Structure 1
Amino acid sequence: SMVEEDKSDSCEECHKFRIDVVIKNFEASSEYHEEDVDLAYFIGAYEELNKFIGLLGRIFHFVQADVREKTNKLLDLREKDPNSYRSVKSMVTFENQQQNYPGSKALLGLHR
């Protein structure tokens, strides 16, 4: 769909950061859950923010890798158990019952 004018900026095009995508995702994440956050949109917002972190240069690559690791962990958990990992509240409730907190740890890691 994208017309490549110049090879040098084609990669920059595919990583273009869009703040509106971040805002829409964060807004949508709390739209249907009173005092709760939808994990799918929340992860989407962080994945988009991570594109921005990537634009900050080499020195931030470890930050970008760290964020990607956490979002991938949450995506993985959601895939295996979509119901328990539907929202932050359902995740915390579920992980408390299991006495195992992989999602909560990943989420806290994103907020550092």
Structure 2
Amino acid sequence: MAKHETEDDKIFRMFKERIAAEPEQIIRYCRGGEGPIWVSRENIPKEQDIPNCACGAKRVFEFQIMPQLLNYLRVDSLGESIDWGTLVVYTCAESCGDENEYIEEFIWKQDFSASSIEFPSSS
């Protein structure tokens, strides 16, 4: 019996296809260019969800931290461990601040959708 592909299945399949070229990649940098690769249709931020920088400028997508990092951190996949689908970092479009100053940026955490994860049966 063929499984009907949901919208989440389609997005997750596209995510897996995109990362297949570099499966060990943990950082995907693309400032101001192509946006993040999302793992689900759920919890994708709208423009108004991304706060402006303290200087007043908009923030733009700069890089994302891929879930493959979890393999290198050797965290448990179950229980009360850290987990994410992708971590997306937005930075000041004007690159405010001087060279010796840290600036607070904004991170968006997207988890895997429960509907896109197949859990093993407990039988």
Query: TM-score under structure 1 normalisation?
Result: 0.32
Query: Between Structure 1 and Structure 2, which shows a larger proportion of helix residues?
Result: 1
Query: Between Structure 1 and Structure 2, which shows a larger proportion of strand residues?
Result: 2
Query: TM-score under structure 2 normalisation?
Result: 0.31
